[in-house]
Amino acid sequence: MFRTLACIVAFSTLAFAQRGPAQPRTLDIYWIDVEGGAATLIVSPTGESLLVDTGFPGNADRDAQRIAQAVVTAGLSRIDHLVITHYHGDHVGGVPGLSKLVQIRNFYDHGDNTEPNGAAQFNAYVALAGNKRTILKAGDKMALGSVDLSIVSAAGKVIENRLERGFFANQCEGAEIKPEDKTENSQSVGFLLTYGKFSFLDVGDLTWDREMQLACPVNKIGEVSLFQATHHGFSNGQSGAPALIWSLRPQVVVVNNGARKGFSNGGFDTIAKIPGIEDIWQGHRGEINDAAHNTADEKIANLSAADDKGYWIKASIAADGSFTVTNARNNFSKSYTAR
């Protein structure tokens, strides 16, 4: 799907020079702080980049500026691929601001907007994407060198069959069913990234009903190493079906919540009960959560909404499946080994 090999090779050489020849290159994932929106920057070991969502509009392009800063921090000079999971403002809102700051080469999304009140942001996005726009479907594949992406959801549909990988126990007995969701969230592009033994699932704001279609009666995804909690930590119970979350068995969960958005008490408990969970990392201390429903401070990037410095969380993944998660606020880091 990705075409310009010559550019990628030339760019990889640049990235290599910037990082220094002695450094083995890792797959890096940055959860940029967009205060309860989403902006996840993935940089492959060859220096190819994929940004998933762009945070909010407004605030003097605060989120676009933070993404542009992360692009510089990652040693990049552009964004090769931008995936917009869906057209809510906390995901697509940063596109106009970001496009003024950073070159974006290719755009990917689920197709038409489904909510009339999002028309202005959708139209702005479509105009900027122009003829560099690709519409993704569940079942599509993408690759960033040796990093593979399987699209597991898009436009309200999920993959029909389970992926050919791993272990597939299910958690369906007694699972709560919720009615069909008609919001843009249900249209979210979701993907499973795999790099050797390591795997990462990001399904944007995919809703409970579609999560159930991924999990029951057939667990279609299998186990993952790292999971970005759906919908900023299962906002309002619209996402976070335990039948999916527990069958994924992520070792590490990153929650891209805001101080007062996402990750209500029930969400924390759903994650804490994941069989074999090793750690939870949060973009923000949830100020609507009590202390028992936040992870330890050292694994929270931003402790106070009133004094937000925009710290990110980063995961660096080596070819052997070992991965290290780092908090930019305090440089606390911890290493894990993908099962």
> Which one of 35, 61, 80, 90 is in contact with Zn ion (CB under 5 A)?
90
Minimum separation from the CB atom of position 291 to Zn ion (A): 25
Q: Residue 331: which residues within 8 A CB-CB, separation 6 or more?
A: none
| Dist CA 143 CA 38 (whole Å) | 22
List, in sequence order, the alpha helices (H) in the chain: 5-19, 62-73, 89-92, 95-101, 119-129, 208-215, 231-234, 242-248, 265-272
* Residue listed under structure tokens 């990917």: 108
Q: In the complex with Zn ion, which residue's Cβ is closer, 181 or 205?
A: 205
With respect to Zn ion, which residue has the nearer C-beta, 53 or 223?
53
**Of residues 250, 252, 225, 229, the one with CA closest to residue 240:** 229
Q: CA 127 to CA 112: how far, in whole Å?
A: 13
Structure token digits, residue 147: 């990093």
Q: For residues 61 and 90, which CB has a smaller minimum distance to Zn ion in the complex?
A: 90
The token pair at 89 is: 């403002």
Task: Between 117 and 161, name the residue whose CB sits nearer to Zn ion.
Answer: 117
The reply to whether 181 sits near Zn ion by the rule CB under 5 A is no
Which CB atom, from 219 or from 238, has the smaller least distance to Zn ion? 238
Interface with Zn ion by CB under 5 A: which range of 90-98, 123-131, 133-141, 318-326?
Answer: 90-98
Among 205, 209, 211, 223, binds Zn ion (CB under 5 A): 205
Segment interacting with Zn ion (CB under 5 A) among 42-50, 73-81, 87-95, 291-299: 87-95
C-beta of 185: minimal distance to Zn ion in Å?
7
Residues that bind Zn ion (CB under 5 A): 90, 205
